[in-house]
Amino acid sequence: MGEFVRVEVADRIATIRLDRPKMNALNGQVQQEIGEAARLVDADPVVQAVILYGGERVFAAGADIKEMADMSYADMSAHSRTLQDCFTAVARIGKPVIAAITGYALGGGCELALCADFRVAGESAKLGQPEILLGIIPGAGGTQRLPRLVGPSKAKDLIFSGRHVTAEEALSIGLVDKVVADDQVYTAALEWASTFAAGPTIALRAAKQAVDQGLEVDLDTGLEIERLQFSGLFATEDAKVGMRAFAEKTKPKFTGN
């Protein structure tokens, strides 16, 4: 669809593929195309799960520093809102999203991976938020999504130091969920995504919204979000299908209704 970002759909799984040689640097055009791709797959009723993938060599090495270097405060003040909106569009895809991480996922690349629900990394992958080494801080969600994922202390370590972590360390701190051989990253993500492809679409969206929105509020408000999502699902055909199949000891065939 875009010059550097395309969407490929097969077997109800959409792959958002970054393809900007050589390192998938996330310039303004790529950011915009990522947002457009996210909104496209979110609205597509055929798509049940999504994979974020940068190819066999690299996920995304970060923002396009050459593009940012000459920006003024006024320039970045205007652009940073668009940057965050594009990444937030990925985080708000109402379907399971898996980041398949090869090579580097640094800076904006790491922040893009943080927008996924799950992360699969290759053995030689490197992740990090090195913005501090440029005299700046993460601006596409890193200071917010990273501490929510790994805790504030570990997030501050990565953000304050700018250091890269190996796939093994990323797994140990909860930054990634699985580590596989480098040549198996996309296959592993695809296998994981396929476990959601036949699931109840509306219930999966409700579950994701309940968890994500609940993390932003107090417990009582979160429980109310859950209660409303839970009770609302009893208006769906899939809920009837699922409970009927349970009673009859058969496998449910969900329709997304």
Catalytic residues: 111, 131
- Phi, psi (rounded to 5 degrees) for 73: -60, -45
Residue that the structure tokens 């890269």 belong to: 164
- The count of other CB atoms within 10 Å of the CB of residue 246 is 10
Q: What is the DSSP string of 84-146?
A: HHHHHHHHT-SS-EEEEE-SEEETHHHHHHHTSSEEEEETT-EEE-GGGGGT----SSHHHHH
Q: Is the peptide bond before 95 cis (omega within 30 degrees of 0)?
A: no
Q: Using N-to-C axis directions, what is the helix angle for 28-43 and 73-91, rounded to 10°?
A: 30
What is residue 72's DSSP assignment? -
Tell me the two tokens of residue 113: 């991976």
Closest CA to 143 of 111, 175, 98: 111
Task: Report the run of H or E that residue 188 belongs to, with start and end.
Answer: helix 185-197
Q: With b meaning 16 or more CB within 10 Å and e meaning fewer, what string describes 80-96?
A: eeebbebbebbbebbbb
Residue 120, beta-bridge partner list: 100, 178
